[in-house]
Structure 1
Amino acid sequence: MSAFRALDPARGEPGGGSRAGAASSSSSAPGGLFRPLNAEDEEQQPTEIESLCMACFRQGVTRLLLTKIPFFKEIIVSSFTCGSCNWTNTEIQSAGRIQDQGVRYTLAVRNKQDMNREVVKTDCATARVPELDFEIPAFSQKGALTTLEGLIDRAITGLEQDQPGRQEIDTALAEKIDGFISKLKRLKEVESPFTFILDDPSGNSFVENPHAPLRDEVLVVTHYWRTAEQAAMLGIEAEEPHENSPDSADDLRNEVHQFNTNCPECNAPAITNMKLVQIPHFKEVIIMATNCDACGHRTNEVKSGGAIEPLGTKISLHITDSSDLTRDLLKSETCRVEIPELEFELGMGVLGGKFTTLEGLLKDIQGLVEKNPFTLGDSSNPDRTERLHAFSKKLQQILDGQLKVHFVLDDPAGNSYLQNVYAPEEDPEMNVERYERRFEQNEELGLNDMKTEGYETEPSSKR
């Protein structure tokens, strides 16, 4: 998928421009095509392109800025202005890769403060308010970095712009839409609680948690596997399955395999190394590491090499001294991390799969908190920033061995691991609990609709 698909002048959209034009302006800048947004960066200038105004059909100016936002990958910011009729249009489009899983945010809106939450909505995301039977379908709006109130305002503006024509053609329909617009305007005042659902099969949308790093009681984040229809909508084709011989399986365990990919930071061609590793007293895992020669970025990810376990696993460790921080740790993509004493919870999917030490994971969490983009800059909330700094200090006290806490790994798939330094004896400071998954947990893992029994094997002559 081209990152410049929505900027194609052949589609007659405002903000049109050529791919070569945008690339030529930014590729020469040091640091790659997509640079972090920085007001002090004098070399980061938008590209200006003449394009057609769809309001008065005269020439206007489109400004394109290629940048990247933490936790939202690369984006293209487009701003169109017409000097003849003063019509303007702004939009963003994700230029990053499609994520491995889709994401669904369910927010229980209780007061007007919830309307100020930052929302990143890509063009393939669907927004719904079940109480009003209201839905913004996928690809009906351009991607936007806005607030929940701003998202509703865009819907109101879209409904109002065709009302004069409807009143001339169908007065009854126009009156019904006027009534619905009034309901949307009252929705912004939060006269009664309602539910906002943002569903993005590409996994690139986002709803802010203003209580970060603490758990948000009114926001539920669910990661799911895309259906065939959703994959087709995104233009993704599944690879055809192929059979492996026993010899090739042995080679997979003994060799480091490489395949071509793109760097997640600068999008330059890179090589990913993959290796099957056996963890003692546990199971096989797949370690994937990418090293970019262009920008020097390094990343690693761990995926389970086995199936989903029949029972979920909850591992609780009482950290009593600094030696506990050296324990090996495997955090799968489906694992949640909790520190009850700090009222902290890291949801599944965040930070991806990791094979590291307990100290390494705590440092990754600390870096995630300190680089939260919604607590930086002039528009950040001072109270929220102060809470994050206080939380970061407590994490540092744990790393320095000054604070004793409980560290919990809760993995419904049962594919996470924390080293038992007393193995094969029991660890007095660690408790491992096996539990039956709830229906919601099976739904997140895609197990409720999975049928593995009752299939009849066709005779070989009919294959």
Structure 2
Amino acid sequence: MSVITEDGVRGENLFRDISADGDDITQIESMCMNCHLNGMTRLLLTKIPFFKEVIVSSFNCDNCSWSNTEIQSAGRIQDQGVCYTLKVKTKQDLDREVVKSDGATTKIPELDFEIPPFTQKGALSTIEGLIDRAAAGLEQDQPLRRATDPEVADKIEEFIQKLKTLKEVESEFTLVIEDPSGNSFIENPIAPQKDEALTVTTFTRTMQQDMQLGLRADDDLDEEPAGNDIETMKDEVLAFNTNCPECNAPARTNMKIVEIPHFKEVIIMATNCDSCGHRTNEVKSGGATEAMGTRITLHVTDPSDMTRDVLKSETCALSIPELEFELGMAAVGGKFTTLEGLLKDIKDLIVSKNPFTCGDSSSSDRVQKLQAFGEKIDKIMAGEMDIHFILDDPTGNSYMQNVYAPDPDPEITIEKYTRTFEQNEELGLNDMKTEGYENEK
């Protein structure tokens, strides 16, 4: 984020890398919420490497010694919400790092426990830290409860003990973090391999969630989106104003409908920022969700396979069985590129842009594993490894180029399958009704 003066000149970036000196810390005198006297709030606008810009605030009161710290995301709200479901099986799982935003909902189903959104400040912590924070919040008003309603206080005390017992991990329990803003995160300690204990899903926000995040006005409930005729847009490049996902400066996004031979129409969106030079592109399906899911398996046997065109929708998962590697949907977004370009994106995401490979979060074993994974990706792109590359798209909107078209490709296997109830639920299809409206009043 940059400062723009009244004469239109872009000033120095507000968010700086962490340094040893304290020149970047802003100090503000503010009222203590405990004793109502004045204390000091310190603000640090900084960047977490390979993650995003954040605001770290710390309050301390010299009068009553009360202190408080919190972290807030200064980046943009993501296109989709995210839900992390973790099966906590060992004490090592309690050490997983967690980024929890203000609007995230935290649940522990085994205890019927839920922390609603916007009731806690954002935090960068661990699983154990989240449990301790929840227990401390419940203990805060216990003296008053014991004086006014001892029976309720006893029940809450019993529940607090159950929360604290979770840290012993005597039995498996589930932690769910659901964040409509998409800015929360739970660490995968064995990345780039798939974490069987951690499930990550994305979802489309409801109108009420958009209003909670400030993306819609209250009077938008009665508005209906205007329809577009795709046929009239095929020869046009549409442009609209947006903000850069890196520096948040005003940028411009171009959108074009393209027809892929032997497949279908897709929408290509490209954003270019003149301020920081950041470029991004994304591909979305221009058609409806297919009746069945599609699993495309390519047997990579020759370096020429790297030049095959690939369309990966935002709902498509990737896997390479030979590397025991699996990447969930929406991890690299929608892409229309070559197989080599997609592999480079995977390598950048897992190795170069992983927020837990540097600083206090890194460990030598983890870095070595990620570097070894990157070397294997390089060997695949050089044609030195014989692998199977699998695109699994429950919407059926992904594509792998058939270089023998219109004849069958001997190296490609395409399977059609019926989606499960859970997949339809994740895609929002179970509650979608498109027929019979003319009979309803």
TM-score for both structures, normalised by structure 2: 0.92
Amino acid paired to 1:383: D
Deviation track 1:196-248 (CA, whole Å, cap 9, x = no partner) reads 1111122211111111110010111111122233233223336732244x6xx
Which one of 143, 146, 149 corresponds to residue 128 of structure 2? Answer: 149
1:383 aligns with 2:383: no
1:129 aligns with 2:108: yes
The two structures, once aligned, show a CA RMSD in angstroms of 2.1
Instruction: Give 5+ residue unaligned stretches, structure 2.
Output: 4-9
User: Are the aligned partners of 1:72 and 1:204 in contact in 2 as well (CA < 8 Å)?
Assistant: no
1:424 aligns with 2:403: no
1:240 aligns with 2:224: yes
User: Are the aligned partners of 1:115 and 1:188 in contact in 2 as well (CA < 8 Å)?
Assistant: yes
CA distance in 2 between partners of 1:65 and 1:255 (Å):
45
CA distance in 2 between partners of 1:43 and 1:49 (Å):
14
In the alignment, what sits opposite 2:6? none
In the alignment, what sits opposite 1:185? 164
1:224 aligns with 2:203: yes
Within a 5 Å distance, the mapping from 1:301-312 to structure 2 comes to 301-312=282-293
Cα deviation for residue 103 of structure 1 reads: 1.4
In the alignment, what sits opposite 1:11? none
1:170 aligns with 2:149: yes
1:204 aligns with 2:190: no
1:313 aligns with 2:326: no
Cα deviation for residue 310 of structure 1 reads: 0.7
Amino acid paired to 1:193: E
Amino acid paired to 2:80: Q
CA distance in 2 between partners of 1:70 and 1:349 (Å):
21
In the alignment, what sits opposite 2:350? 369
User: Are the aligned partners of 1:285 and 1:303 in contact in 2 as well (CA < 8 Å)?
Assistant: yes
Cα separation, partners in 2 of 1:33 and 1:302, compared to 1, 3 Å: farther
Cα deviation for residue 34 of structure 1 reads: 3.0
User: Are the aligned partners of 2:101 and 2:179 in contact in 1 as well (CA < 8 Å)?
Assistant: yes
Which secondary structure state, in structure 2, belongs to the residue aligned with residue 375 of structure 1?
coil
Amino acid paired to 2:86: L
User: Are the aligned partners of 1:34 and 1:266 in contact in 2 as well (CA < 8 Å)?
Assistant: no
CA distance in 2 between partners of 1:379 and 1:300 (Å):
30
CA distance in 2 between partners of 1:193 and 1:388 (Å):
28
Which secondary structure state, in structure 1, belongs to the residue aligned with residue 40 of structure 2?
strand
CA distance in 1 between partners of 2:23 and 2:397 (Å):
44
Deviates more, 1:96-105 or 1:431-440: 96-105
In the alignment, what sits opposite 2:276? 295
In the alignment, what sits opposite 1:100? 79
Which secondary structure state, in structure 2, belongs to the residue aligned with residue 236 of structure 1?
coil
Which secondary structure state, in structure 1, belongs to the residue aligned with residue 437 of structure 2?
coil
Cα deviation for residue 72 of structure 1 reads: 4.8
Which secondary structure state, in structure 1, belongs to the residue aligned with residue 42 of structure 2?
strand
Instruction: Give 5+ residue unaligned stretches, structure 1.
Output: 4-19, 21-26
1:281 aligns with 2:265: no
User: Are the aligned partners of 2:18 and 2:46 in contact in 1 as well (CA < 8 Å)?
Assistant: no
In the alignment, what sits opposite 1:359? 340
Cα deviation for residue 453 of structure 1 reads: 2.2
Which one of 87, 111, 123 corresponds to residue 66 of structure 2? Answer: 87
User: Are the aligned partners of 1:421 and 1:427 in contact in 2 as well (CA < 8 Å)?
Assistant: yes
Amino acid paired to 2:165: R
User: Are the aligned partners of 2:18 and 2:47 in contact in 1 as well (CA < 8 Å)?
Assistant: no
CA distance in 1 between partners of 2:214 and 2:350 (Å):
34
CA distance in 2 between partners of 1:379 and 1:421 (Å):
44
Which secondary structure state, in structure 2, belongs to the residue aligned with residue 183 of structure 1?
helix
1:438 aligns with 2:417: no
Which secondary structure state, in structure 2, belongs to the residue aligned with residue 119 of structure 1?
strand
In the alignment, what sits opposite 2:140? 161
CA distance in 2 between partners of 1:288 and 1:43 (Å):
41
1:324 aligns with 2:305: yes
**Percent sequence identity over aligned pairs:** 67
Deviation track 1:253-307 (CA, whole Å, cap 9, x = no partner) reads 1111110000001000000011111111111111111111111111111111111
Within a 5 Å distance, the mapping from 1:105-116 to structure 2 comes to 105-116=84-95
TM-score for both structures, normalised by structure 1: 0.88
In the alignment, what sits opposite 2:7? none
Cα deviation for residue 99 of structure 1 reads: 2.0
Cα deviation for residue 432 of structure 1 reads: 1.1
Cα deviation for residue 85 of structure 1 reads: 2.3
CA distance in 1 between partners of 2:243 and 2:110 (Å):
42
Amino acid paired to 1:366: K
Amino acid paired to 1:322: P
Cα deviation for residue 33 of structure 1 reads: 2.9
Deviates more, 1:228-237 or 1:336-345: 228-237
Which secondary structure state, in structure 1, belongs to the residue aligned with residue 161 of structure 2?
helix
Cα deviation for residue 176 of structure 1 reads: 1.3
Which secondary structure state, in structure 1, belongs to the residue aligned with residue 234 of structure 2?
helix
Which secondary structure state, in structure 1, belongs to the residue aligned with residue 59 of structure 2?
strand
CA distance in 2 between partners of 1:407 and 1:90 (Å):
45
Cα deviation for residue 166 of structure 1 reads: 1.3
Deviates more, 1:99-108 or 1:303-312: 99-108
In the alignment, what sits opposite 1:394? 376
Amino acid paired to 1:319: V
Cα deviation for residue 45 of structure 1 reads: 1.5
Cα separation, partners in 2 of 1:405 and 1:75, compared to 1, 3 Å: same
CA distance in 2 between partners of 1:99 and 1:121 (Å):
14
Which secondary structure state, in structure 2, belongs to the residue aligned with residue 414 of structure 1?
coil
User: Are the aligned partners of 1:33 and 1:266 in contact in 2 as well (CA < 8 Å)?
Assistant: no
CA distance in 2 between partners of 1:319 and 1:259 (Å):
40
In the alignment, what sits opposite 2:252? 271
Which secondary structure state, in structure 1, belongs to the residue aligned with residue 240 of structure 2?
strand
1:342 aligns with 2:323: yes
Which secondary structure state, in structure 1, belongs to the residue aligned with residue 347 of structure 2?
helix
1:410 aligns with 2:389: no
